[in-house]
Structure 1
Amino acid sequence: MRPRRALVTGGNRGIGRAIAAGLVAQGHAVTITARTQPDGQEAAEALGCQYMLTDLSNPETMMGVLQPPEGFDILINNAGILPRGSLLENPEGYFDCMAVMVNAPFLLIQALAPGMVDRRWGRIVNISSDWGSFAEGLHGPNAYGVAKAALNALTMTLPRDLPAGVKVNAMCPGWVQTRMGGAGATRTPEDAADTAVWLANLPDDGPTGGFFRDRKPLNW
């Protein structure tokens, strides 16, 4: 596979950083997003990639990634949040979850997919969760599961609007040792990143509109 231009949201730490590292190791030209300059600069220098300052909860800060000069061939919608409390006790958590994990991915896909279509090649990977699976019961605090279910629905729907050369899939990283997952989690960021990197490099006959963990299909 020849090198491509890749964008990884929230790529300065955790799963996103491991995904970015995996793509850099394959020779792709990677750009990560970060909410602060120190975080973005440190990660970019360590990874050997570029970074953009972007707060996915605020579309006004996203213009650099929504209108890149050359576009991106690979989009990894990784950034996520985990608000506390119930939906009714903390309704702001609902709006924050939807902004970061549904609205921002859609805006990025809407902006970047036309370039992928023109180049006849693109890979979109939505980092979701089995907490967003109806088959698993929509677990998680506040609106986390609701947002991931909406992201899954977006993943299922988009292939009907995209040509075969532009593939969009979702994946569940599992319980990962990150700031969000905690030190007691059973998987490393590198374990979690493997499926995302695989989906970012799918061959022409690879799947689209699917939901995966450890490279195997999951139930919606």
Structure 2
Amino acid sequence: MAAEKIALVTGGSRGIGVEVARQLARKDYRVVITSRDGLAGKAAADKLRSENLEVFHQPLELTRQESVRRLAGYLQEQFGRLDALVNNAGQFIDPDPDDPRQASVLEAPLSQLQASLDVNLLGTVRVCQAVVPLMRGHAGCIVNVSSGYGQLQGMKAAFPGYRISKTALNALTRLLAAELEADGIRVNSVDPGWTRTRMGGSQAPRSPAEAANGIVWAATLPADGPSGGFFRDGTAIPW
């Protein structure tokens, strides 16, 4: 049992997250998904288990340190290790970009920017601080699910909270990759592309399963795989 690979997927109750969990479980990972909505998370885990996949659910509120500690304690008690961490949980709370005042970083309420950073950046930091100790010695992979909206190259106006928080998440990727290199832990950012989810909307061209492919690729890299990069569909893209 100790030799089996364990994966954690935050924000795993729907959309891209649940597809990442499905694909990892099909690769014989035992997968723990988290969600703020306990009922939705349990339902997602039950659905995946009905497909004969080993998937478990734990509640998680990224903005609460105690919730993150409970998750780490669960992983330690149940598995004693972690091989893949997919930081997928996030939020997009920026207002309608068609309203020039709402779209402007100069007009955006600071509370809105803080909320975006607290979940999309600091929430990921909280999780990493709590669970990365379980990865040391296993040469695993960390994937930070980012966005093309966080690319500095070609960045435009609108969506200030989301853009800033995802750019900062990419910086975290670089920091973690450098710090964990000696442990053989690969850390990369992945842009899943515009996807048909609650966040992406029904007009997006990609299915959640298609978007999950590149994330799962980065979560299952071999020991000599890349680290500290930004990828879409397994191909490096500019920062």
SS in 1 for 2:193: coil
**Mapped partners of 1:169, 1:149: distance in 2:** 13
Determine the structure 1 residue equivalent to 2:227. Answer: 208
Of 81, 84, 92, which residue of structure 2 is paired with 1:71?
Answer: 81
Residues 144/99 of structure 1: CA separation in 2 closer, same or farther (3 Å cut): same
Residues 139/42 of structure 1: CA separation in 2 closer, same or farther (3 Å cut): farther
List runs of 5+ in structure 2 lacking aligned partners.
50-54, 96-101
Q: What amino acid is the match of 1:72?
A: L
Determine the structure 2 residue equivalent to 1:144. Answer: 162
Determine the structure 1 residue equivalent to 2:195. Answer: 176
| Runs of 4+ off more than 4 Å | none
SS in 2 for 1:126: strand
TM-score by length of 2: 0.86
Q: What amino acid is the match of 2:163?
A: G
Determine the structure 2 residue equivalent to 1:53. Answer: 59
Q: What amino acid is the match of 1:75?
A: L
Query: Contact 2:144/2:188 (CA < 8 Å) preserved in 1?
Result: yes
Determine the structure 1 residue equivalent to 2:25. Answer: 24
SS in 2 for 1:158: helix
**Mapped partners of 1:60, 1:120: distance in 2:** 26
List runs of 5+ in structure 1 lacking aligned partners.
none
Q: CA deviation at 1:210?
A: 0.5
The residue correspondences of 1:189-204 to structure 2 (distance < 5 A) are 189-204=208-223
Query: Contact 1:3/1:26 (CA < 8 Å) preserved in 2?
Result: no
**Mapped partners of 1:101, 1:217: distance in 2:** 22
Q: Alignment length, in residue pairs?
A: 218
What is the percentage of aligned positions where both structures have the same residue? 37
Post-superposition Cα deviations, 1:120-158, rounded to whole Å, max 9, x if no partner, equal: 411100000011010131555231010000000111122
Q: What amino acid is the match of 1:129?
A: S
Determine the structure 2 residue equivalent to 1:15. Answer: 16
Query: Contact 2:150/2:164 (CA < 8 Å) preserved in 1?
Result: yes
Query: Contact 1:77/1:127 (CA < 8 Å) preserved in 2?
Result: yes
**96-105 or 187-196: bigger deviation:** 96-105
Determine the structure 1 residue equivalent to 2:99. Answer: none
Post-superposition Cα deviations, 1:158-196, rounded to whole Å, max 9, x if no partner, equal: 222112521100000110000000000010001110011
Superposed CA RMSD: 1.6
**Mapped partners of 1:73, 1:112: distance in 2:** 10
**Mapped partners of 2:120, 2:108: distance in 1:** 20
TM-score by length of 1: 0.93
The residue correspondences of 1:52-131 to structure 2 (distance < 5 A) are 52-67=58-73, 68-69=75-76, 70-85=80-95, 86=102, 87=105, 88-117=107-136, 119-131=137-149
